[in-house]
Amino acid sequence: DVKVTQSSRYLVKRTGEKVFLECVQDMDHENMFWYRQDPGLGLRLIYFSYDVKMKEKGDIPEGYSVSREKKERFSLILESASTNQTSMYLCVTTMNTEAFFGQGTRLTVV
């Protein structure tokens, strides 16, 4: 079975902290994506990557950065967390027409 693992299900961080959200996939897929999910807004694309050390901005990259040092791992970084980054974060990997989702990380910034 395909597996996409996000390091935390729930996180609480303070405003101004640097936050790392980790995602690991075991499928040797090249494409990986970070979305945030907010009620009434659906899933919005933050950043994505097609290969190691490669990254592309999605629709809402402000306040975020990413790192892809190894093919299986795609990290989302909140440089200085703010309360408007409180959200559910989803890691996704795709192969052809299939998409595989992590369980999500619910981040609360206080």
* CB distance 89 to 21 below 8 Å: yes
Single residue of 19, 23, 48, 87 touching other proteins by CB under 8 A: 48
Type of residue found at 60: I
44 contacts: CB under 8 Å, gap ≥ 6: 35, 36, 37, 38, 58, 59, 60
Distance from C-alpha of 76 to C-alpha of 22, rounded to nearest angstrom = 6
* Closer CB to other proteins, 49 or 81, in the complex: 49
Does the protein bind other proteins through residue 90 (CB under 8 A)? yes
- List binders of other proteins among 50-79 (CB under 8 A): 50, 56, 58
Closest distance between other proteins and the C-beta of residue 77, in Å?
A: 20
* Binding segment toward other proteins, per CB under 8 A, in 10-18, 20-28, 75-83, 101-109: 101-109
Single residue of 104, 105, 107, 109 touching other proteins by CB under 8 A: 104
Single residue of 15, 80, 82, 103 touching other proteins by CB under 8 A: 103
Q: Which of 89, 101, 69 is nearest to 11 (CA)?
A: 89
53 contacts: CB under 8 Å, gap ≥ 6: 68, 69
- What's the length of the chain? 110
Which residue ranges make up the site for other proteins (CB under 8 A)? 31, 33, 35, 40-45, 48, 50, 56, 58, 90, 92, 94, 97-99, 101-104
